[in-house]
Each structure stands twice: as C-alpha cells, then as structure tokens.
Amino acid sequence: QLSETELKRLKEDVPSLVPDETRGTCEPYKGSVCKKYIGSNYIYISEGLNQDYIEQKLQGVFKVITASPDLSNNCAEFALPSICLTTIAICDETRRRPRKICRDECEILEHDVCKAELAIAKRHPLLGHQMVLPD
C-alpha cells in the first residue's frame, strides 16, 4: 500500500501518458519495468515525455497493482502486458507512430477478464486518470 505522501508525489505535475500520435519520436527501449513485454524494440515517446519519467510512473502504478488483493491471477496475466504496450507503445518505424493493441483484446479485458479490477482502478486516485485504453 502506498502512503499518502507517495501518492501525492506521484500525482504532482502529471502530464498525460497517452501517446500523442502527432508529435513524438521512436527510440530504443532502455527501461526495465516493461522489458519482459517490450524487449529491446523501438518505442514511441511523445514530445514532452522521456523514458525515465514514464518508467517512474509505471513503477508506481505497478507497485499499486501488484500489491492489490483485488487483482486476480487471470487478470494479472493480461493486464500488465496491456498496460505496458499501451503506455509504452512499440514504434511502427515505417510510419513513425505508436502501434496500438487490438481494440477487441482491450474490450475482452475491460468487460470480462479484468472487469472488477478495472472498475476499482478507475476509482483509484493515482491510476484512474493515467490509464491508457485504446479508442
């Protein structure tokens, strides 16, 4: 469980982690939080953000998620890679844009596998406004 001080610190001056498809660059992933899912692929970083900042925010989010007694094993298996691949999108190097996960996959998580967990996360003071779900 995060302390009030940790929550406050993580929420301060929080720019959106939603990838901006119109302004950004592709660069090699050098982080550790999502290495299991991203490997050494190139990722899309929106203008005004950097990998260190995104890593720091995701570490806080993952700390909250993995410590939650509300997270089922079934949901965890899919939710963590989905959070990684939507927040730190693999770059389509041909188009110089972020690749998106399939809407169908996201809807299965949202309406079936992780329905209860997502409802809780949307109410969480740190997670609710930082969640990146495809349109």
In sequence order, what are the beta bridge partners of 25? 45
User: Stretch 125-131: mean pLDDT, rounded?
Assistant: 54
> In which residue are the tokens 């949901």 written?
75
Q: Residue 29: pLDDT band by 50, 70, 90 thresholds?
A: very high
Q: Look at residue 108 in the predicted model and tell me its pLDDT.
A: 78
Which among 121, 7, 4 is positioned nearest to 68, based on CA atoms? Answer: 121
Percent of the chain with pLDDT over 70: 76
Of all residues in the chain, the percent with pLDDT exceeding 90 is 20
Q: Give the helix/strand (H/E) hosting 98.
A: strand 97-98
Average pLDDT over residues 107-121: 77
Q: Are 97 and 89 in contact (CB under 8 A)?
A: no
Q: How far apart are CA 129 and CA 61, in angstroms?
A: 11
- Please report which confidence band the pLDDT of residue 37 belongs to, taking 50, 70 and 90 as the band edges: very high
Pairing of strands 97-98, 91-92: antiparallel
Task: Give pTM, 2 decimals.
Answer: 0.71
Each residue's pLDDT tens digit, 40-87: 999 999 888 899 988 988 888 888 778 878 888 888 888 888 888 888
Per-residue burial over 71-110, b if 16 or more Cβ lie within 10 Å, else e, is: beeebbeebbebbbbbbbbbbeeeeebbebbeeeebeebb
**In the structure, what pLDDT confidence band is assigned to residue 103 with cuts at 50, 70 and 90?**
confident
Q: Which residues pair with 42 in a beta bridge?
A: 28
- Token pair listed for 105: 């996959």
Other C-beta atoms within 10 Å of 64: how many?
A: 20
Between strands 97-98 and 42-46, the pairing is unpaired
- Given this model, what pLDDT does residue 128 score? 53
